[in-house]
Amino acid sequence: MAGAYFTKHEIENPRLDADLLVAEVLDVNRLYLYTHFERPLEASELARLKTYIQCRIEGYSVAAIVGKKEFMRLPFVVTKDVLIPRPATETLVETVLEHCGETPLRVLDIGTGSGAIILSLLHYRPQWTGIACDISAPALAVARQNAARLEVSDRVEIIESDLFHSLADQTFDIIVSNPPYIPNGEIEGLAPEVRNEPMTALRGGEDGLAIYRRMIPAMVPHLRKGALCAVEIGAEQGAAVSALVREVNAFSEPAVRQDLQNLDRVVWWKRI
């Protein structure tokens, strides 16, 4: 039923979305649906599914509807107050893990949102500690919930801060960020499920580079010698963000890494 309805409304991946929503209603995995396809929905389950279907038609993603999303093979709570973690962002986490060993290091995540980036790093590197900051108090509440679920609350401080404003003279071995990088003029052309996410996590200024211009030079006093910096970028921003890094004498030559779709996704460099 749901799959056909989604097809009618031109929802991308109609069968997958329908399966995921039905599985959520029944609290089962997708395999269960195929082995119990004759099981009828109870009245309460059908009512809940209809609500989910309407939300999907209105342009909300499945993750936003069910309130959870897997990232780096870990479960994260998501709400309307945070950007839904994307598979492409796993490239950022993987870049850091590949370039940093398992010795104790201190991480800063700027614009943490749900906390997916830094909490994944702390999960896979039990010796690391860090700070997650964001300007959104509701987003920080979600990050704290995720930190507790992943049992890393004792190794991360979650604070409200506009970039480095609340960090005084603190220094770090790693700084990561997935800042807003969509040019303002392109927002209206985004898919509805993206436009329904927080605008503060999307709008990157006229050319999408506004936050990078503020953030990159401001990193210097907060970086220990040899520290790693890694930021997510839009698919066509590799050259522009690399140029901003080269303007700072304290940084090494930046490198661009592509995601699994062979699109530029991460710029990384070191403090020299």
Spatial distance between the Cα atoms of 125 and 145, rounded to a whole number of angstroms? 19
- Percent helix, strand and coil across the chain, each to the nearest 5: 45, 20, 35
Angle, nearest 10°, between helix axes 238-246 and 210-218?
30
Q: Is 101 annotated as a binding residue?
A: no
Q: Is 178 annotated as a binding residue?
A: yes
Tell me which DSSP letter residue 231 carries. Answer: E
Q: How far is CA 127 from the centre of its chain?
A: 22
Q: What is the CA radius of gyration of the chain?
A: 20
Across 16-147, where does the E strand assignment appear?
A: 68-71, 74-77, 106-110, 129-134
3-class DSSP state of 163: coil
Rounded to whole angstroms, what are the CA distances from 85 to 7, 123, 145? 25, 16, 15
Contact 112, 139 (CB under 8 A): yes
Q: Is 169 annotated as a binding residue?
A: no
Spatial distance between the Cα atoms of 242 and 253, rounded to a whole number of angstroms? 8
Q: Is 112 annotated as a binding residue?
A: yes
Q: Is 226 annotated as a binding residue?
A: no
Q: Is 179 annotated as a binding residue?
A: yes
3-class DSSP state of 272: coil
Q: Is 184 annotated as a binding residue?
A: no
Spatial distance between the Cα atoms of 263 and 107, rounded to a whole number of angstroms? 26
Spatial distance between the Cα atoms of 105 and 168, rounded to a whole number of angstroms? 19
Q: Is 181 annotated as a binding residue?
A: yes
Q: How far is CA 270 from the centre of its chain?
A: 22
Binding residues for substrate: 178-181
Binding residues for S-adenosyl-L-methionine: 111-115, 134, 178
Binding residues: 111-115, 134, 178-181
